[in-house]
């Protein structure tokens, strides 16, 4: 498959320069000059558009679109244990499949090309990735008391099974292990999951230091902060993504400034559940890799990374009374390049020859993009995601002129409404 995007501007390059971008197979073959023996199957007119790398959502639970606007304005523990988990118990794997596809439709429409998911429904997200073509790093959520816990062992088996399943159906997925949190997993269970991750070379994806209660309880129980505790179990010795990291002790910055580790910050979820502000500007200053996530639609209540970038930069400027923190450029880097590094895919996150073609076109005729002074600021501060016109994942067009090519939205909406009708009753 050969695709050329004609006369397009590339985000971050000279303001008036326009060029042609040639895509062969799954990667960018050349920028500017037509490669030898290029066979054109598709041409996209980029003359009123600019091209940017696809956004990478480093923390979500895609199926939780089913819980969108279902549990709001509640304290964290009441939200989680009183509303979200009881609803989750009532969901079937098929429900989760449709909820996941709805999440993918929303993400693609708002320029996200890859996401890190923690889910509770084995094989369902893999199946949805295979049918939508969306890239993901999947981690089946794990809870358990210790390595002999039958339920915990079963969940680990399911996590390993879906890796094989993903390979067998050619889904565009990577896999990791997803212990849910330090307050839902016992110490020996976390140790066991960590040993397994290291043995199999898998990334660990875990919620960490999300709430004040988690921080205080961990200090009381283990005499360590949540980050120190995770490190003491070996969790920072291999690739890991820690979602949230809102509550950090002085020592924690040094522990997290580790090339294995990424922090996925989720400003909307942290604000909505009243957990506060992660110290993102300080983390960046201390050399910690920070990526961006939306968290689930049960606590956001959307999966839109444009909104999330907007909140990220504004929340910290406002919270610290410092308009210089988190510049537009830094914010966009967090949602693209840093995300790519977090999932171990340095071939993503930028528009360069040789890189994998996970790309997003932005319509410069959208009212929120006019006038055109500074595209980087437009992405971080004024875009809302509706300006995304076309999306490519691995060189495949998954949205063309706002039409999704791989997801039957009408069917998805119907199926999700069918699920929701059970909970409205
Ligand atoms: Ni989460």
* Dist. CA 419–CA 89, nearest whole Å: 13
Q: How far is the CA of 372 from the centre of ligand 1 (A)?
A: 36
- Is the pLDDT assigned to residue 1 strictly greater than 90? no
Q: How far is the CA of 46 from the centre of ligand 1 (A)?
A: 36
pLDDT in tens, 28-42: 999 999 999 999 999
What number of other Cβ atoms are within 10 A of residue 67's Cβ? 23
- DSSP letter for each residue of 44-97: EE-TTEEEEEPEEEEEE-GGGGGGTTTS-S--HHIIIIIIIHHHHHH--HHHHH
Structure tokens at 249: 């002790």
Q: Taking the CA of residue 121 as centre, how many other CA atoms within 13 Å lie in the half-sphere pointing to its CB?
A: 22
Confidence band of 102 (pLDDT split at 50, 70, 90) = very high
- What are the DSSP E strand ranges found in 245-357? 261-265, 289-292
Q: How far is the CA of 207 from the centre of ligand 1 (A)?
A: 6
pLDDT in tens, 186-197: 999 999 999 999
Structure tokens at 181: 């949190």
Per-residue model confidence (pLDDT) at position 237: 97
Q: How far is the CA of 295 from the centre of ligand 1 (A)?
A: 5
- CA dist 76 to 139, 248, 273, 311, 331, Å? 23, 19, 6, 20, 27
* Dist. CA 182–CA 229, nearest whole Å: 9
Average pLDDT, the chain: 97
pLDDT in tens, 390-417: 999 999 999 999 999 999 999 999 999 9
Q: How far is the CA of 67 from the centre of ligand 1 (A)?
A: 13
Q: How far is the CA of 154 from the centre of ligand 1 (A)?
A: 21
- DSSP letter for each residue of 237-249: SS-EEEEE--S--
| Mean pLDDT (whole number) for 189-215 | 98
pLDDT in tens, 108-140: 999 999 999 999 999 999 999 999 999 999 999
* Dist. CA 289–CA 258, nearest whole Å: 8
Q: How far is the CA of 3 from the centre of ligand 1 (A)?
A: 36
Nearby residues of 362 by Cβ (< 8 Å), 6 or more positions away:
11, 49, 50, 51, 52, 111, 369, 375, 378, 379, 383, 387, 388, 389
What number of other Cβ atoms are within 10 A of residue 153's Cβ? 15
- DSSP letter for each residue of 295-321: --GGGSS---HHHHHHHHHHHHHHHHT
> In which residue are the tokens 């989750």 written?
88
Closest-CA residue to 206 (of 245, 237, 239, 178): 178
- Is the pLDDT assigned to residue 213 strictly greater than 90? yes
Confidence band of 425 (pLDDT split at 50, 70, 90) = confident
Confidence band of 15 (pLDDT split at 50, 70, 90) = confident
Q: How far is the CA of 206 from the centre of ligand 1 (A)?
A: 8
Our measurement of the distance from residue 239's CA atom to the centroid of its chain's CA atoms, rounded to an integer in Å, reads 16
Confidence band of 301 (pLDDT split at 50, 70, 90) = very high
Q: How far is the CA of 117 from the centre of ligand 1 (A)?
A: 9
- Is the pLDDT assigned to residue 273 strictly greater than 90? yes
Per-residue model confidence (pLDDT) at position 198: 98
* Dist. CA 246–CA 282, nearest whole Å: 12
Q: How far is the CA of 64 from the centre of ligand 1 (A)?
A: 10
Total-model pTM: 0.98
Q: How far is the CA of 333 from the centre of ligand 1 (A)?
A: 22
pLDDT in tens, 347-385: 999 999 999 999 999 999 999 999 999 999 999 999 999
> Is the distance from CB of 198 to CB of 234 less than 8 angstroms?
yes
Give the pairing of strands 261-265 and 240-244: parallel
Q: How far is the CA of 379 from the centre of ligand 1 (A)?
A: 25
Per-residue model confidence (pLDDT) at position 234: 98
Percentage of the chain with pLDDT > 90?
Answer: 98
Per-residue model confidence (pLDDT) at position 381: 98
Nearby residues of 140 by Cβ (< 8 Å), 6 or more positions away:
118, 119, 120, 122, 155, 158, 159, 162, 177, 178
Per-residue model confidence (pLDDT) at position 76: 87
pLDDT in tens, 75-98: 988 999 999 999 999 999 999 999
Largest CA distance in the chain: 66
* Dist. CA 193–CA 3, nearest whole Å: 43
């Amino acid at each position: 498959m050969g695709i050329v995007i004609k006369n397009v501007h590339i985000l971050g390059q000279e303001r008036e320069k326009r060029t042609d971008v040639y895509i062969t197979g799954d990667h960018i073959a050349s920028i500017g000059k037509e490669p030898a023996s290029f066979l054109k199957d598709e041409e996209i007119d980029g003359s009123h558009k600019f091209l940017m790398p696809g956004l990478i959502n480093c923390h979500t639970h895609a199926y939780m679109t089913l819980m969108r606007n279902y549990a709001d304005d509640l304290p964290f523990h009441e939200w989680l244990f009183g509303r979200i988990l009881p609803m989750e118990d009532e969901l079937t794997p098929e429900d989760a499949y449709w909820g996941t596809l709805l999440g993918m439709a929303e993400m693609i429409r708002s320029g996200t090309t890859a996401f890190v998911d923690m889910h509770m429904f084995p094989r369902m997200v893999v199946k949805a990735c295979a049918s939508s073509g969306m890239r993901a790093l999947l981690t089946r959520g794990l809870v358990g008391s210790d390595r002999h816990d039958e339920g915990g062992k079963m969940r680990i088996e399911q996590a390993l099974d879906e890796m094989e399943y993903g390979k067998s159906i050619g889904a565009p997925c990577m896999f990791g292990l997803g212990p849910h949190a330090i307050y839902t997993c016992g110490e020996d269970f976390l140790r066991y999951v960590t040993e397994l991750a290291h043995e199999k070379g898998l990334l660990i994806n875990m919620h960490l230091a999300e709430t004040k209660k988690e921080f205080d309880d961990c200090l009381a129980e283990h005499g360590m902060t949540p980050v120190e505790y995770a490190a003491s179990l070996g969790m920072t010795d291999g690739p890991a993504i820690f979602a949230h990291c809102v509550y950090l002790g002085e020592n924690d910055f040094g522990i997290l400034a580790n090339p294995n580790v990424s922090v996925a910050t989720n400003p909307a979820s942290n604000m909505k559940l009243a957990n506060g502000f992660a110290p993102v500007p300080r983390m960046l200053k201390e050399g910690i890799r920070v990526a961006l996530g939306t968290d689930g639609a049960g606590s956001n209540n959307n999966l839109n990374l444009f909104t999330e970038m907007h909140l990220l930069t504004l929340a910290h400027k406002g919270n610290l009374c410092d308009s210089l923190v988190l510049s537009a450029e830094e914010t966009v880097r967090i949602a693209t390049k840093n995300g790519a590094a977090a999932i171990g895919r340095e071939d993503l996150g930028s528009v360069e020859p040789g890189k994998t073609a996970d790309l997003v076109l932005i319509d410069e005729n959208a009212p929120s993009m006019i006038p055109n002074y500074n595209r980087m600021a437009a992405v971080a501060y004024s875009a809302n995601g509706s300006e995304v016109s076309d999306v490519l994942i691995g060189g495949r067009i998954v949205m063309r002129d706002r039409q999704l090519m791989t997801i039957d939205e009408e069917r998805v909406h119907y199926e999700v409404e069918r699920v929701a009708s059970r909970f409205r009753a």
